[in-house]
Amino acid sequence: MASSISLLVLLLTNTALLALALRLILTVIRCRRNRKKAVGFFHPYTNDGGGGERVLWCAVKAIQEELPDLDCVIYTGDHRDATPQSLTARALDRFGVQLLCPPKVVHLYKRKWVEETSYPRFTMIGQSFGSVYLSWEALCKFTPLYYFDTSGYAFTYPVARAFGCKVICYTHYPTISLDMLSRVHSQSSMYNNDALIAKSVFLSRCKMIYYRLFSWMYGTVGSCAHLAMVNSSWTQSHIKKLWGIPDRIKRVYPPCDTSGLQMLSLKRPLDPQKIISVAQFRPEKAHNIQLEAFALALKKLDVEMPRPKLQFVGSCRNEADERRLQKLKDQAVELNVANDVEFHKNVTYSDLVSLLGGAVAGIHSMIDEHFGICVVEYMAAGAIPIAHNSAGPKMDIVLAEDGKQTGFLAQTIQEYADSIVKVVQMAEDERLTMAAAARKRASKFSEQKFFQDFKAAIQPIFSRSSE
């Protein structure tokens, strides 16, 4: 009797799985037949306010200029305030990008499956599998000829391939990097490697197995891209090793508003001198390091000197970011620098330009920042960069121009504090010389350069598809 029941349960289970598989296959076949002549941009967070969003709107504009017969469709989870008109206005107000026409919008309601808060443990793999579910919702609602991921969800590429789409991506940052594997192996504690795990040999070994498995999966799904654009030399080197498709990878530096910012005067108000920090209030941006360095720098300055001000400018994506911002404000009070620090949340593009135009320096402290758009913006605006000595800023941006220094690179709180002191105490002619060299260097990362390289990269994909 028991064996008969077990057999019946097994039969029903297999039947249910077969029915589900058949339903999925039929859905894919139906959607493939109904593909639209369009480019679908998978960007679940269209209000994050960062460099990724700027790339999205510049990519949309480039497609509209190069291929006006193709519709541009945005897949977004911001369904409350995301309409064709509001997104067009946002692109202009926040980033100065004038779209040729409003994009179409497909609202997604399963975005919680890619929220990091949904996965207290195994966050990477949880979000990655969650993105598969979210992309399924997206492609079932609207199936384009071209699927364009601008948010780094590589696990969605096999899904898009199954729906018959040409897969294009712009990768800002590998979901897992060889540096992350190295830190776990060396048991280094960071925001993405819990101190409890870092202290345990056994837990570190378990995490290494998890990371190696995930990196293999990441490489497999990433290789499904027909074209992978990357934003820096650092990202390019990692993606080449992980995805194994070097002939399909193109480096396209992200669009930085260098032309508008270069119109700003290099001369700055010096009473007080202002140091700006432009970054989303996310843990990896390490704002606390900047605050501690600034407090230390104030102690190093002569008491007779006017005290400089530190201006934090950034956006909050969710409640976690809001709490992080409040914690930063509390830290400023604890360090006795609250009167010397300003916080500017979710500012408009015009306000950002105004703030950049008043700063003598710009500070950045993210380790392994894939590129560093904010660093380029500092340089274009005439603010001397003080950036982390790794990845994009080190390899691509804060390099000598015509033999002249363009800024400072730092790693420790002490090094950041020393760099702040150097800028604040710098003679005016010396500061202007360095700022001018930095501005010239920044011109290599302009929006015009992005459009030129972006269009050259996508041209073979679209020309082959039209044949």
Q: How far apart are CA 438 and CA 407, in angstroms?
A: 7
pLDDT mean over 311-315 = 93
Q: How far apart are CA 149 and CA 166, in angstroms?
A: 11
Residues 6+ apart with CB under 8 A from 402: 437, 440
Contact 439, 379 (CB under 8 A): yes
36-42 and 71-76 strand pairing = parallel
**Up-side HSE of residue 68: CA atoms within 13 Å toward CB?**
4
Would you give the distance in Å from CA 427 to the centre of its chain?
35
The pLDDT value given to residue 305: 84
Tokens describing residue 39 = 């480019």
Q: How far apart are CA 28 and CA 312, in angstroms?
A: 47
Provide the H-helix boundaries in 318-397: 319-334, 349-356, 373-381, 391-392
Tokens describing residue 437 = 């060299």
> Tokens 């966050």 correspond to what residue?
123
- Percentage of the chain modeled with pLDDT above 70: 93
| Least confident piece of the model among 57-71, 82-96, 127-141 | 82-96
Q: Identify the residue with better confidence: 334 or 259.
A: 334
Q: How far apart are CA 74 and CA 161, in angstroms?
A: 18
Contact 243, 219 (CB under 8 A): yes
Q: How far apart are CA 464 and CA 395, in angstroms?
A: 34
281 has a pLDDT exceeding 50: yes
The 3-state DSSP class for residue 278 equals strand
Query: Alpha carbon of 386 to those of 41, 112, 261, 310: distances in Å?
Result: 34, 36, 18, 13
**Up-side HSE of residue 29: CA atoms within 13 Å toward CB?**
6
Dihedral Cα 169, 395, 45, 257, nearest 10 deg: -100
User: Which of these, 5, 22, 48, lies nearest to 285 by C-alpha position?
Assistant: 48
Beta carbons within 10 angstroms of residue 98's beta carbon: 10
Q: Identify the residue with better confidence: 20 or 434.
A: 434
The pLDDT value given to residue 165: 96
Segment 432-453, tens digit of pLDDT: 999 999 999 999 898 889 999 9
The pLDDT value given to residue 16: 77
The 3-state DSSP class for residue 165 equals coil
The pLDDT value given to residue 423: 96
Contact 384, 407 (CB under 8 A): yes
408-410 and 384-388 strand pairing = parallel
The pLDDT value given to residue 189: 47
pLDDT mean over 245-274 = 91
Task: Quote the Cα angle for 297-301-302, to 5°.
Answer: 165
Segment 403-420, tens digit of pLDDT: 999 999 999 999 999 999
Q: Annotate 32-47 with b (16+ C-beta within 10 A) or e (fewer).
A: eeebeebbbbbbbbbb
Task: Quote the Cα angle for 93-96-100, to 5°.
Answer: 100
Angle of helix 447-466 versus helix 51-66 axis, rounded to 10: 50
The pLDDT value given to residue 14: 74
| pTM score above 0.85 | no
Segment 355-402, tens digit of pLDDT: 999 999 999 999 988 898 899 999 999 999 999 999 999 999 999 999
What does pLDDT average to over the chain?
Answer: 90
Q: How far apart are CA 124 and CA 130, in angstroms?
A: 10
The pLDDT value given to residue 196: 52
Q: How far apart are CA 176 and CA 212, in angstroms?
A: 9
The pLDDT value given to residue 376: 94
Q: How far apart are CA 371 and CA 232, in angstroms?
A: 6
197 has a pLDDT exceeding 70: no
User: Which of these, 81, 70, 84, 79, lies nearest to 40 by C-alpha position?
Assistant: 70
Contact 316, 349 (CB under 8 A): no
Phi and psi at 59, nearest 5°, equal: -65, -40
| Least confident piece of the model among 177-181, 294-298, 310-314 | 177-181
Tokens describing residue 269 = 């108000």
Which residue type does 286 have?
A: A
- Residue 144 CB burial class (10 angstroms; 0-12, 13-18, ≥19): buried
pLDDT band at 195 (very low <50, low <70, confident <90, very high): low
Beta-sheet strand order (sheet of 227-230): 104-107, 71-76, 36-42, 144-149, 166-171, 227-230, 249-251
Q: How far apart are CA 76 and CA 280, in angstroms?
A: 19
Q: How far apart are CA 80 and CA 82, in angstroms?
A: 6
pLDDT mean over 69-75 = 96
Contact 255, 290 (CB under 8 A): no
> Tokens 């609250």 correspond to what residue?
338
pLDDT band at 320 (very low <50, low <70, confident <90, very high): confident
